[in-house]
Amino acid sequence: MTGNGGNDGDSGNDENDGLDGNDGVDGRSGDRYDDLVADLLSGNHRALARTITHIEDRAPGYRELVSALHGHTGSADVIGITGSPGSGKSTLVDRMAEHYREAGLTVGIVGVDPSSPFTGGAVLGDRIRMSSTTGGMEVFFRSMSARGSLGGLSTATADAVKALDAFGKDKVLVETVGAGQNEVDVVKTADTVCVLVPPGSGDDVQMLKAGILEIGDVFVVNKADLEGADRTVTELREMIEGRSDRLSSLDAGGRGSYDHREGHEAQGHGHHGGHGHRDDRGDRGNGERQDRRERGEGHGEHDEERADGPANGANDADAGTDAEPDVWTPRIVETVAKSGSGVEEFLAALDGHRDFLERSGRLERQVRRRYTEEIRGLLREDSSALIEREIAARGGIDAFVDRVVAGETDPYAVAEEVIAPFRNCLAACRDDTAGRGDAAGQGDAGGRDGV
């Protein structure tokens, strides 16, 4: 494989070679569809870049493409990186890629900019800068933008992560430009979420109370050589302790252990999990990662110092005991990404969280939650498209608005008018299915009676 195959040396016009226009990958594209999947699974970076292009563009047949990759996912460690603009996310991601490559791991990076639907925004410049550092390594970088649809960006990002996972990347890093709700929805697709906060940024720390605090597993005070770093660490620690107190009260209330990223309000989309298999190339990659951990190479060397100490993220009461920690206590790490200071400690914290997920069984639960939200999200997306087509067939939304303005009807009645045919159709389908099931059961009973 060539290094840095995803740095848009492949993402220009070449990405659509043989798969252009509406004649792209779909259920009818036969050999080209199979060839693209086969090329990606064989380690072809160009095929990976073209696959992500189809995913991002929502090209005809992209769902069949993602479905074909699904069975090959489940091994990548996905890490989300978010934080306020200027906190040094891209520099830190650059350092992470360097360290992972030195440890013999392959890396995929998805840079997401929900705020720039057309140009790709700041991520594009960061990608060009990062490529100068990672260009000689096995690092694939791909920037993604909203392309005019913020709502579907988290789904597209999760699908791109699936492509990187199926390709065989050991580590997949998802970096966002800012820390707004759209970015939060994106990074929720990760196994581990890191939140960067620049020092002395009181407003940024207060902003965390709006929701991002609840999803952070590791908090990074980057640029820690600047004034105000100690104060920022103190403020973060106080906020995290407050969160831990809330979780403890939930446990005491009879709800059992609580995962801060689980629940009905959690939004996210599954990227992997539960298969327990991938192709031979992926199995070899898993074995190599296990071998490195057993030899104490790479970042596995931190396992011993995390085993009984607070670095594993457990509550202090659990340290040095045989009991597994029930709730992860977020770590706070100080780094100076530009010089590399603190990066090893940061990676050790990430390793600690991954170990916690695997030991506690939370990883499987997170995967189930993501799949739950992914299925619900796809159903919402599809049902919304059906409703929009029905509205268009009835003269468009303006026709309904005209009737409401004229006093002929009201918004609730309009909604019922549009939805009623769908509801009736679904009810009829259920009745028909139940009827066929009853008939089949009676037939089986009759056959047994006749024997």
Which residues, 6 or more positions from 304, have their beta carbon under 8 angstroms from its beta carbon? none
Q: Computed over its alpha carbons, how large is the radius of gyration of the chain? A: 25
pLDDT digits (tens, 9 = 90+) for 217-274: 999 998 888 888 888 898 888 888 876 665 555 555 443 344 455 543 434 444 555 4
Provide the pLDDT for residue 279: 44
Provide the pLDDT for residue 303: 38
Asked if 110 and 173 touch (Cβ cutoff 8 Å), the reply is yes
Asked if 235 and 195 touch (Cβ cutoff 8 Å), the reply is no
In percent, the amount of the chain with pLDDT more than 90 equals 40
Range(s) for CATH 3.40.50.300 in the chain? 72-362
Task: Tell me how long the chain is.
Answer: 451
The DSSP result for 129-190, as a single string, is: HHHHHHTTSSEEEEEEE-TT-STTHHHHHHHHHHHHHHHT-SEEEEEESS-SHHHHHHHTTS
What backbone torsions phi and psi does residue 261 show, to the nearest 5 degrees?
-110, 15
72-362 CATH fold: Rossmann fold (3.40.50)
Greatest mean pLDDT among 10-19, 79-88, 136-145 lies in: 79-88
Range from 75-89, 180-194, 428-442 carrying the lowest mean pLDDT? 428-442
Provide the pLDDT for residue 448: 53
Provide the pLDDT for residue 434: 76
Give the residue-averaged pLDDT of 354-377. 92
